[in-house]
Amino acid sequence: MAAMAAASASVSVSNNPSFPSSQKRSPLLSSSQSFIRNLRMPTTHLIKSPLKHFSLSSSSTSPLIPLCATTDTTTTTTAATAFHGVCYVLGDNIDTDQIIPAEYLTLVPSKPDEYRKLGSFALIGLPSEIYPTKFIDSGELTSKFSIIIAGDNFGCGSSREHAPVALGAAGVKAVVAESYARIFFRNSVATGEVYPLESEGRLCEECSTGDVITIELADNLLINHTTGKEYKLKPIGDAGPVIEAGGIFAYARKTGMIPTLASSSA
Amino acid sequence: MASSAIASSSTSFIKKNEIGLSSFTPTSFPIQRCKRRALSKKVVSVMAPPQSDRRPSTTGSVKNAMTMTEKIMARASERSQVVPGENVWVNVDVLMTHDVCGPGTIGIFKKEFGENAKVWDREKIVIIPDHYIFTSDERANRNVDILRDFCGEQNIKYFYDIKDLGNFRANPDYKGVCHVALAQEGHCRPGEVLLGTDSHTCNAGAFGQFATGIGNTDAGFVMGTGKSLLKVPPTLRFVMDGEMPSYLLAKDLILQIIGEITVAGATYKSMEFVGSTVESLTMEERMTLCNMVVEAGGKNGVVPADSTTYKYLEGKTSVEFEPVYSDDSARFLAEYRFDVSKLEPVVAKPHSPDNRALARECKDVKIDRVYIGSCTGGKTEDFLAAAKVFLASGKKVKVPTFLVPATQKVWMDLYGMEVPGSGGKTCSQIFEEAGCDTPASPSCGACLGGPRDTYARMNEPKVCVSTTNRNFPGRMGHKEGQIYLASPYTAAASALTGFVTDPREFLQ
């Protein structure tokens, strides 16, 4: 908090009125980031915390750890630089009731078996006359589509974290939409379940379900191998490292921002 | 944005004894300067200066004009000033969760803070089972059990439990829909920060506070620390003047606005409602207005607190609160003006809350049912409005009409409160005479579909006029169901004709 204040005091605040996002890398934030680097806690925390975290995790026996995209924060130092897969294309205003209808919200995402089940219902609320291709084949737990391409205002509606969780559990690595509803974006970052990437143009009209796609995260590039076209994406910015770490808690531990809280109470 | 905010935090915010300004001082400079100036040459004591409850952001000593939302966030983040776009750590006054997101939030809390960890403040967490209550769905029932166990273990002060599902009235603690219960139980207070694991938490902005919905992970964090990282939103201002016609309700106003700015028109933004019309609205109507800001993508909605607010709060809370108001020279991203006296009853057609049309334009839409309920359309005044239409017509409904009071208190009002001008009848009597279904047990009900056995759930592709807040595909159950969002007046009028109907047909 103090670091932030100091940083903001030293940088004049811009009155840039375009906030809607996500991807903006304001001078304010990057300067405070470098500031915080100097304030970081002793490096021992970097090593200690994930171990503690793991030994206490009730789900550590499961190979699938909910809300943790990457499994080991100590060794994951390189970014997930690229995603390769088949895409599923959606239109505008895909709301959370379509992503995971309310009747499945009794499933608790923090319980590993229910996490997997949530994945099997991802996008089951889509109207079948508009989206004749099933996102998940009958009897499957995950989807063969690992990239979602959508239009404006993806994830609008409810605050249910089950939405990004269901997509992540179904095997989705990234969503590429023109824009996002606020809570969905935030929940994606906080959980680290999926990368909510923003496209420069209207990719949902340029790509078709089934196209083979590569996303080069570092270059902010989407390549459609089926059509042979390439598209610029907006940079994910500061949200990237958080998702890469596996969510807001994992990131905070990885960077030594929060101590190993669990240890004190164990 | 989560990440940037994390990056800009200090290292110590989790440890309670290290919170705040002890180790780093920059934030406190402006505050101290103000205090010194206020105390000026008079004070010569060597004792610590007296702690004033009035922070600079609420005094006249601050030159930077701010909106209400900015002021609330400034105070909650212990700053003299914030600007839109800034990420700040705010102190949370109340965290609310329910049976759908509570178990997941608790799961995250335990995973991240430890099995034996304690919540940051047992009196500031409010847990309200309300979504999937009257169902035989085992997992839904289990989720309420998880809440109960946790509240017992943590000694949570405000847990509105239900054990006897056969008769909700046997559960004196049970309230019903969380947003209405929060207001009725005095948890909504001007100037405070309320976060909840439900997108309609913005409902509480009606009290002149900052209230917004968050996910389980963020809520788990708040549960352990009492803090959350929030981006200060810029504010859109909606000025509504003119006398409200007798056939309009707040639902018409907000549907009008959403139709104007679209379902993404306020994304990341605050919506402030002012003007003579807003001042004339009751608290319940103000809640209807704020409840649906999320349907425009809004982060929060606010109505400035006034005598109506204070009157409502009388006897509901003993917590001191301090309202804040937008400065005259505060910067708004945009201002929209409405002459309410010229507006007409509207509906939102399927499948989007911004798919606005005049109710009279939809008079040929044949409907199968009417639903009156939810946080936005199931309050006492919503039922009084419906009763007024039934009373004026003296006729019977032509389609099944489902009534789901938001809370136990609303339910009691339906049975105990006389409808003005009815010669002593209660809402429940009027509904019965009109041929409506008997008012159901209070809960979120079929507003969001829910388990298959939920009362009034759309299990077939029907056409429904509903006083709820969302009409996405599948929202009330069936994917091919069609939902027309409308005010209680319009819903009741439509029930009487079997078509979408402008209430002026009965209310003139």
Q: Is A135 on the interface with B (CB under 8 A)?
A: no
Q: Check residue A80 and give its pLDDT.
A: 60
* Binding-face residues of A in 202-261 toward B, CB within 8 A: 237-243, 247-249, 251-252, 255-259, 261
Query: Does residue B366 sit in the same domain as residue B408?
Result: yes
Query: Does residue B363 sit in the same domain as residue B286?
Result: no
Query: Does residue B213 sit in the same domain as residue B312?
Result: yes
DSSP 8-state code for residue B60: T
DSSP 8-state code for residue B354: T
Q: Check residue A263 and give its pLDDT.
A: 45
User: Cβ contact (<8 Å) for B115 and A183?
Assistant: no
Q: Check residue A3 and give its pLDDT.
A: 37
Q: How far apart are CA B144 and CA B138, in angstroms?
A: 10
User: Cβ contact (<8 Å) for B113 and A252?
Assistant: no
State the Cα torsion A32-A33-A38-A40 to the nearest 10°: 120
**For residue range B7-61, what is the model confidence (pLDDT) as tens digits?**
333 333 443 333 333 333 333 333 333 333 343 444 434 444 445 555 555 555 5
Q: Check residue A261 and give its pLDDT.
A: 52
Q: Is the preceding omega at residue B351 within 30 degrees of 0, hence cis? A: yes
DSSP for B178-243?
A: HHHHHHHTT---TT-EEEESSGGGGGGGGGSSEEEE--HHHHHHHHHHSEEEEEPPPEEEEEEESP
Alpha helix segments (H runs only) across chain A = 2-10, 27-39, 44-56, 96-99, 112-120, 162-169, 182-191, 239-245, 248-254, 261-265
Q: Is A186 on the interface with B (CB under 8 A)?
A: yes
Would you place residue B142 in the very low, low, confident or very high pLDDT band (cuts 50, 70, 90)? very high
Residues in chain A, overall count: 266
Say how many domains are in chain B. 2
- Identify the residue whose tokens are 């913005």: B202
DSSP 8-state code for residue B168: G
User: Cβ contact (<8 Å) for B139 and A257?
Assistant: no
CB-based burial label for B146 (10 Å; 0-12, 13-18, 19+): middle
Q: How far apart are CA B151 and CA B125, in angstroms?
A: 10
Q: How far apart are CA B442 and CA B176, in angstroms?
A: 5
β-pairing, A212-216 with A221-224? antiparallel
Of B11, B85, B218, the CB nearest to A257: B11
User: Cβ contact (<8 Å) for B264 and A153?
Assistant: yes
**For residue range B350-360, what is the model confidence (pLDDT) as tens digits?**
999 999 999 99
Query: Does the residue B19 lie in any domain?
Result: no
Helix (H) or strand (E) holding B159: strand B158-159
Expressed in angstroms, the distance from the first to the final Cα of chain B is 50
Q: Give, in order, the Cα–Cα distances in Å from B189 to each of B76, B160, B200, B407, B448.
A: 14, 19, 16, 19, 27
Q: Check residue A198 and give its pLDDT.
A: 97
Q: Which residues of A touch B234 (CB under 8 A)?
A: 17, 19
Q: How far apart are CA B253 and CA B269, in angstroms?
A: 19
Q: Is A10 on the interface with B (CB under 8 A)?
A: no
Query: Does residue B154 sit in the same domain as residue B259?
Result: yes
Query: Does residue B387 sit in the same domain as residue B238?
Result: no
Q: Which residues of A touch B82 (CB under 8 A)?
A: none
User: Cβ contact (<8 Å) for B6 and A242?
Assistant: yes
Mean pLDDT of all residues in B182-199: 98
Contact by Cβ (8 Å): A232, A200: yes
Q: Check residue A255 and give its pLDDT.
A: 87
Query: Does residue B200 sit in the same domain as residue B130?
Result: yes
Q: How far apart are CA B90 and CA B70, in angstroms?
A: 12
Q: Is A43 on the interface with B (CB under 8 A)?
A: no
- Identify the residue whose tokens are 């209230």: B211
> B320 Cβ partners below 8 Å, 6+ apart?
none
The domain in which residue B404 lies consists of 348-503
* B244 SS3 class: coil
Query: Does the residue B47 lie in any domain?
Result: no
Interface size between A and B, measured as CB pairs under 8 A: 285
β-pairing, B346-348 with B270-274? unpaired
Query: Does residue B126 sit in the same domain as residue B250?
Result: yes
Query: Does residue B104 sit in the same domain as residue B236?
Result: yes
DSSP 8-state code for residue B53: S
CB-based burial label for A142 (10 Å; 0-12, 13-18, 19+): middle
**For residue range B105-140, what is the model confidence (pLDDT) as tens digits?**
999 999 999 999 999 999 999 999 999 999 999 999
Of A17, A108, A265, the CB nearest to B103: A108
Residues in chain B, overall count: 508
Query: Does residue B232 sit in the same domain as residue B84?
Result: yes
CATH number, domain containing residue B353:
3.30.499.10
User: Cβ contact (<8 Å) for B2 and A189?
Assistant: yes
Helix (H) or strand (E) holding B256: helix B250-261
Spell out, as residue ranges, where chain A has pLDDT lower than 70.
Answer: 1-80, 260-266
User: Cβ contact (<8 Å) for A160 and B215?
Assistant: yes
Please tell me the number of Cα atoms within 13 Å of B403 on its side-chain side. Answer: 29
CA distance A187 to chain B (A): 6
* A38 SS3 class: helix
Query: Does the residue B288 lie in any domain?
Result: yes
Question: What average pLDDT does chain B have?
Answer: 90
Q: How far apart are CA A208 and CA B312, in angstroms?
A: 54
Q: How far apart are CA B325 and CA B58, in angstroms?
A: 9
- Identify the residue whose tokens are 């209400």: B68
Q: How far apart are CA A29 and CA A8, in angstroms?
A: 8
Query: Does the residue B228 lie in any domain?
Result: yes
Q: Check residue B508 and give its pLDDT.
A: 77
Query: Does residue B250 sit in the same domain as residue B370?
Result: no
Domain ranges of chain A: 82-255
The hierarchical CATH code for the domain A82-255 is 3.20.19.10
Query: Does residue B184 sit in the same domain as residue B275?
Result: yes
Q: What is the ipTM of this complex?
A: 0.87
Q: Which residues of A touch B470 (CB under 8 A)?
A: 95, 97, 157
The least confident of B20-24, B235-239, B479-483 is: B20-24
User: Cβ contact (<8 Å) for A159 and B111?
Assistant: no
Query: Does the residue B301 lie in any domain?
Result: yes
Query: Does residue B425 sit in the same domain as residue B300?
Result: no
Q: Check residue A258 and give its pLDDT.
A: 79
Q: Any bridge partners for residue B358, and if so which?
A: B346
Q: Which two tokens stand for residue B443?
A: 């809960």
Would you place residue B469 in the very low, low, confident or very high pLDDT band (cuts 50, 70, 90)? very high
**For residue range B401-442, what is the model confidence (pLDDT) as tens digits?**
999 999 999 999 999 999 999 999 999 999 999 999 999 999
